[in-house]
Structure 1
Amino acid sequence: MVAGLGGAEQFRRHGPQVIEKGVWFNLWAPSAGSVELLEVGRGPRRMSRDDDGWYQTLSSAARVGTRYQFRINGDLVVPDPASCFQPEDVDSPSEVIDMAALRDAMLYPGRSWAEAVIYELHVGTFSAEGTYAGVEKKLPYLRDLGITAIELMPLNDVPGRHNWGYDGVLLNAPNARYGRPEDLKRLLHAAHDLDIMVYLDVVYNHFGPQLNYLHSYAGKFFSSRHTTGWGPAVNLEGKEGQFVRQFLIDNALMWLRDYGFDGLRLDAVHALKDESERHFLIELAETVRSQLMGRQVHLMLENEANQAHLLGRPSGRAKLYNAQWGDDFHNSLHVLLTGEDEGYYRAFADKPLAHLARSLAEGFAYQGEIFPLHNKPRGEPSAHLPPDATIFFSQNHDQIGNRALGERLASLVSSQKLIQAMVLLLLNPHIPMLFMGEEAAVTTPFLFFADWQGEAAELTREGRRKEFTHFKAFSTPEMRDQIPDPCDPSTFAASKLDWANIERSAPSREFQRLTQELLAIRCTKIIPRIKEGFVGVKTELIGAHGKTGGINIRWQTGHGLALQIVANFSEQAILRPSLIEGDTLWGNEPSSGHPYLHASDIVACLGQLPRSAH
């Protein structure tokens, strides 16, 4: 709670400020002619406006728990865009939350980035309860598995009962369907007690289309110069852009400081259009780093542009962002495992083996070359970056959920290929991420779902089916009718993990044990090497058969050790290259007398390099 009142300028920031004399309400509404505060159970209170479009008023009757809305131009009633909680839904009254009171006197310090083993999950479908408490119950299981960080898909409030979270309307309000803010805080405490970090996926590149009222009273929140695939870009430029930047940076600080999250994953930052002298991404990272010193806070990007300069380590530590999602690794691996070459896999279908090898060695497969899907250059040189500057995955919410039928890899490939993919993912020195249930090889789909009504539901349904018009499997209207309706409650229900079935399934239990074994190897053998640092890497393609074949990759540390992975992605046996002597982490020993790699074979070794190879 803020101790005194001070001048209005002191409280000119997004959201209510709880002070000793009541609550100071703020709304940036430069397009509005008038704004009134509507406190539930009390009469309207007219708010004063300053030259920058800030409307403010002090209510001495308001307190923590007060519910309120704003009335724009005497007509439109809206929630607070900076609301910290919506007990009912996004079109209902906001509730005053004292965020400062949520803060811990001493926050969990975190773990080093090298130790991160990330488990991405959607709170609503991860457990039967679909709540923070449901996630909390499974934390001991995740710890015992070897997970060191969970990443929650977006929590910001959205219209309706269920949604992926990327259609956020109120960015500061964690979705009430999952629990209250105090319940979210309890989940973080429980995770930290088990030494598990908690990351959050945040969306700053667009706002959801339903019940988003910002255009009505803050038109300058959006840019007239830039557009994205979701419509006008968020305005990050000029004087008005400064208020938007403050709103978004304050949101990041709220999650990290007030709730105690250990890191953020920023969604699709290539859609953040900003030609300012200091790009928004740089300002955000520098502000977070300066204000949260003393904690290990990890910042991650999803970035189609493959901008290596945001991931630099000038002094051996991340200056701005720790890592970027490695879509190039996933896409090339997926082509090799499944043979699929439609959609965005087309850009990797010409030489998937070479793309995979380059991703493993240098992080990005595209480092300035022409990207076929856009027919323009993509990416920046990334060979100078350490392996842990990219996050690798063989599945995630996007790559599963953006499939028409939401199939997981376990439904698409053999068990041998599934094992090969898991070994490659968990024993390479890039940061690994699993998607919920992947550790048990579940076949439960993860579908695209939302809870729109009326015209919005129809547009979403038709848009989803139109999206797959050019795919062979959905080339006719009859085929596209098989695509689940995103707004049908059964689509959401079908995406829920069935833990009782997982526990009964012998194959699931067996794959869980495999995952646990691999993560134990990673903990004792790979993570110490990441902390030492790698000074070189060598790759070669072996036994090529058309577009497939094998890879032989060897990362060298500064202490003369090498980590080697050899894998065969073809359907034919290939001659195995020489293996370094030392520990065989996975696969046949070098002296086993097996000179060939059979289909889906993979071998991982860690050992001392001969002096001639240093």
Structure 2
Amino acid sequence: MKHRRYSQGAEVTENGVSFRTWATNKKSVSVVVLNSDRQPIRELPLTLDQESYYTVEDPQAKAGMLYQYRLDGQPLPDPASRFQPYGVHGPSQIVDSTGFAWSDQGWKPPALAELVIYELHVGTFTREGSFRSIIDHFDHLLRLGVNTIELMPIGDFPGDRNWGYDGVEIFAPCRAYGHPGDLRFFINEAHRAGLAVILDVVYNHLGPDGNYLGSYSKTYFNPKHHTPWGLAFNFDCSDCAPVRSFFLENPIYWREEFHFDGFRLDATQAIPDTSKKHIIQEITEEIQARGGLVICEDPRNERRIVLPRSSGGYGCDAVWADDFHHVVRTLMTGENEGYLGYFEGTPEQLLAAIREGWLFTGQLQKDGIPRGTRGIDIEPEHFVVCISNHDQVGNRAFGDRLHAIISPEAYRAASALCLLVPYTPMLFMGQEWACSSPFCYFTDHKPTLGGNIAKGRRKEFEQFSAFRDPEKREKIPDPQAEQTFQSSKLIWDEVAASQHQTVLRLYQDCIRFRQAKLTDRRRGVWQVELVSDQTLALRYSPPKSAEVLILVQLVPAKTTLDLNIPILRSSQAHPWKFSLSSNEPEYGGEQPGFCDPKKEAIFLIQPETILFVAHS
């Protein structure tokens, strides 16, 4: 099948349409081509080829037609479908990937060290909840200063509302967001505007409804491995080659046919693979060879993920470093339940997380299990940090945002810190203007499954002291309710209000400062120290540009800082010049800290982040 690009799926060829799928232990495999009313037109038997795939070419089929495979008489959607116009249980549709006129041939994405990532959920980012409607807000994103959009998973899922992690058709853009052509148009326009687009992909499980892989072959799964969601995929048995190809080709497909600039791999700690070459490494090699990047979500603080392959690593471009978020949150809120119970929320822990890249580097946790590896010798761009993302907001009972549970001063200080540390910053949609919308957990499953999920979610919160009372748990929003989804949509009209504009201005100015003054963030260029009980100093000393001093205090404390402390001391030739405070009135503040040159001291009272630049 030399004219095919991928091992599975329906592909338009010069001779019609090539159908190809992988199945085991079947007596008969055929494809049923349907008309627009979903009525059968013809049925063609598939035959085994030399690579043990079932295949047939239909000279009469063309793009736009519907089809189903029939395995031993059972009609099923194609697990490699390119589009599911009638949902994940319905027929698949033939899509011609060559029909779109791309105009991004000269596009060059930002370098890894330049990334400022903006995570968004397509369905709730706009009122319309579509790929195309995102384009209407490119101007906002460009004025904000971000240069990379990260889409939460878009592989089609059951129902019309989902975070995307219940996806079951990983090659098919979700029909609720638009047609594959709409996705191509969105990415083409993003590149035209100067925005890169990366995609969150899930290779550790498929959702509980509409997952037909097992109907094609039980070999898709390895009973020796388990994940929090059930059996793991079979990446390491002797007969795993078709499974590896299926998942390896998925990001290649998104890269080649949709021009995604890179990928975020979900929960890579739950992708077991004992092969000589881990599937994560193989995916990374293939994507990087095509000019894309790979970012992993992995809570293990495992340096191997980003170490070069020459040093025994997977060679991924970056990894989420959530310890930064956890320390910041516990420090500001005092929360210490669930996974936050592993964090003490002290300035010393914040210092360690900033210095190392993550907090845990092999220490024993409270459960007696060691966690983490050293990160201090890994360049900062390989760590992605945030104070908000879909998990940290949506996994809360009411989806409440960080700014809703801490003071405005603390939120501004933490926001500025996140944007000015040497690591790769990521924002979650709406945080830049302290939006009023929560981001709740929502689904649209069949009633029985959806009801069980809602009950299970409420039961999970029994471990938290605020929800020990069953009546309080009943107040947790029902994931299945339409209103839960609707309430999570951003309200763009509120951006113009003064209380939101001030926060937005802080984000814009901090990103602008980062891109102009903090271009050299290599290890050895900066140092960070605790200079009072509650205050950290982060100093950049690049060899070819002005020094920068950042002071951070995330909780209220009357603090006097002696400017003769070595990390705070400036030279006589280049004294510090005030540049920005998160508590300035233009950002919504009222009581910014100040520097008294005569007393050679800086005074802080409120949570605050202050920037100084060495005067030339």
Please report the TM-score for the alignment, with normalisation by the length of structure 1: 0.91
Whole-angstrom CA distance in 1 between matches of 2:546 and 2:368: 41
Q: Does 1:401 align with 2:394?
A: yes
Aligned-partner residue type, residue 357 of structure 1: L
> CA 1:451–1:575 in structure 2 vs 1: closer, same or farther (change >3 Å)?
same
- Native 8 Å contact 1:327 1:392 kept in 2: yes
Measure how far apart 1:377 and its partner are: 1.7
Q: Does 1:45 align with 2:27?
A: no
SS in 2 for 1:513: helix
Q: Does 1:529 align with 2:527?
A: no
Whole-angstrom CA distance in 2 between matches of 1:387 and 1:207: 32
Aligned to 1:331: 326
Measure how far apart 1:104 and its partner are: 4.1
Aligned to 2:293: 298
Aligned to 1:99: 97
Aligned-partner residue type, residue 514 of structure 1: L
Q: Does 1:389 align with 2:382?
A: yes
Q: Does 1:567 align with 2:566?
A: no
* CA deviation vs aligned residue, 1:131-161 (integer Å, no higher than 9, x gap): 1121010001111121111111111000101
> CA 1:562–1:534 in structure 2 vs 1: closer, same or farther (change >3 Å)?
farther
Aligned to 2:528: 539
Measure how far apart 1:537 and its partner are: 4.3
Whole-angstrom CA distance in 2 between matches of 1:439 and 1:450: 26
Aligned to 1:455: 448
Aligned to 1:362: 356
Q: How does 1:463-474 map to 2 (within 5 A)?
A: 463-474=456-467
Whole-angstrom CA distance in 1 between matches of 2:114 and 2:256: 22
Identity across aligned pairs (percent)? 34
**Number of paired residues?**
587
Aligned to 2:585: none
* CA deviation vs aligned residue, 1:86-114 (integer Å, no higher than 9, x gap): 11211111111123554848262211122
> CA 1:180–1:49 in structure 2 vs 1: closer, same or farther (change >3 Å)?
same
Pick from 412, 428, 432 the counterpart of residue 419 of structure 1. 412
Aligned-partner residue type, residue 389 of structure 2: N
- Native 8 Å contact 1:568 1:574 kept in 2: no
Whole-angstrom CA distance in 1 between matches of 2:337 and 2:374: 27
Whole-angstrom CA distance in 1 between matches of 2:577 and 2:238: 59
Q: Structure 1 stretches of 5 or more lacking a match? A: 610-614
Whole-angstrom CA distance in 2 between matches of 1:206 and 1:300: 18
- Native 8 Å contact 1:300 1:323 kept in 2: yes
> CA 1:226–1:379 in structure 2 vs 1: closer, same or farther (change >3 Å)?
same
Aligned-partner residue type, residue 554 of structure 1: R
* CA deviation vs aligned residue, 1:563-603 (integer Å, no higher than 9, x gap): 43222234321232533444544235655565322230222
SS in 2 for 1:178: coil
- Native 8 Å contact 1:221 1:240 kept in 2: no
Q: How does 1:254-403 map to 2 (within 5 A)?
A: 254-290=253-289, 292=290, 295=291, 297-312=292-307, 320-349=315-344, 352-372=346-366, 375-403=368-396
- Native 8 Å contact 2:305 2:319 kept in 1: no
Aligned to 2:124: 125
SS in 2 for 1:469: helix
Measure how far apart 1:313 and its partner are: 5.7
Whole-angstrom CA distance in 1 between matches of 2:438 and 2:274: 40
Whole-angstrom CA distance in 2 between matches of 1:180 and 1:253: 19
Whole-angstrom CA distance in 2 between matches of 1:597 and 1:25: 68
- Native 8 Å contact 1:328 1:355 kept in 2: no
- Native 8 Å contact 1:362 1:387 kept in 2: no
Aligned to 1:612: none
Whole-angstrom CA distance in 2 between matches of 1:282 and 1:215: 25
Aligned to 1:153: 152
SS in 2 for 1:299: strand
Measure how far apart 1:607 and its partner are: 3.7
Task: Name whichever of 214-223 and 393-402 sits farther off.
Answer: 214-223
- Native 8 Å contact 2:414 2:554 kept in 1: no
- Native 8 Å contact 1:39 1:68 kept in 2: yes
SS in 2 for 1:378: strand
Whole-angstrom CA distance in 1 between matches of 2:100 and 2:242: 25
Measure how far apart 1:396 and its partner are: 0.6
Measure how far apart 1:310 and its partner are: 2.2
> CA 1:441–1:206 in structure 2 vs 1: closer, same or farther (change >3 Å)?
same
Measure how far apart 1:31 and its partner are: 3.9
Aligned-partner residue type, residue 277 of structure 2: R
Q: Does 1:227 align with 2:226?
A: yes
* CA deviation vs aligned residue, 1:289-314 (integer Å, no higher than 9, x gap): 22x1xx4x222110112121221369
Measure how far apart 1:555 and its partner are: 4.2
- Native 8 Å contact 1:368 1:377 kept in 2: yes
Aligned to 2:610: 603
Whole-angstrom CA distance in 1 between matches of 2:297 and 2:358: 13
Aligned to 2:432: 439
Aligned to 1:27: 21
Whole-angstrom CA distance in 2 between matches of 1:177 and 1:99: 20
Whole-angstrom CA distance in 2 between matches of 1:11 and 1:129: 34
* CA deviation vs aligned residue, 1:246-271 (integer Å, no higher than 9, x gap): 11121111112211111111110010
Aligned to 1:512: 504
* CA deviation vs aligned residue, 1:529-560 (integer Å, no higher than 9, x gap): 23xx332543333433xxxx222233443548
> CA 1:202–1:118 in structure 2 vs 1: closer, same or farther (change >3 Å)?
same
Whole-angstrom CA distance in 2 between matches of 1:283 and 1:434: 29
Whole-angstrom CA distance in 1 between matches of 2:12 and 2:365: 51
* CA deviation vs aligned residue, 1:107-128 (integer Å, no higher than 9, x gap): 6221112221111111100101
Task: Name whichever of 596-605 and 404-413 sits farther off.
Answer: 596-605
Q: How does 1:72-91 map to 2 (within 5 A)?
A: 72-74=71-73, 76-91=74-89
SS in 1 for 2:387: coil
- Native 8 Å contact 1:330 1:394 kept in 2: yes
Aligned to 2:487: 494
- Native 8 Å contact 2:281 2:314 kept in 1: no
For the aligned residue pairs, the C-alpha RMSD in angstroms reads 2.3
Q: How does 1:157-196 map to 2 (within 5 A)?
A: 157-196=156-195
* CA deviation vs aligned residue, 1:208-263 (integer Å, no higher than 9, x gap): 01011111221111111100000001111134322222111211111122111111
> CA 1:31–1:346 in structure 2 vs 1: closer, same or farther (change >3 Å)?
farther
Q: Structure 2 stretches of 5 or more lacking a match? A: 36-40, 582-592
* CA deviation vs aligned residue, 1:399-429 (integer Å, no higher than 9, x gap): 0000001000121011101110111011222
Aligned-partner residue type, residue 377 of structure 1: P
- Native 8 Å contact 1:560 1:608 kept in 2: no
Measure how far apart 1:23 and its partner are: 1.1
* CA deviation vs aligned residue, 1:321-344 (integer Å, no higher than 9, x gap): 221112000000001111111111
> CA 1:314–1:13 in structure 2 vs 1: closer, same or farther (change >3 Å)?
closer
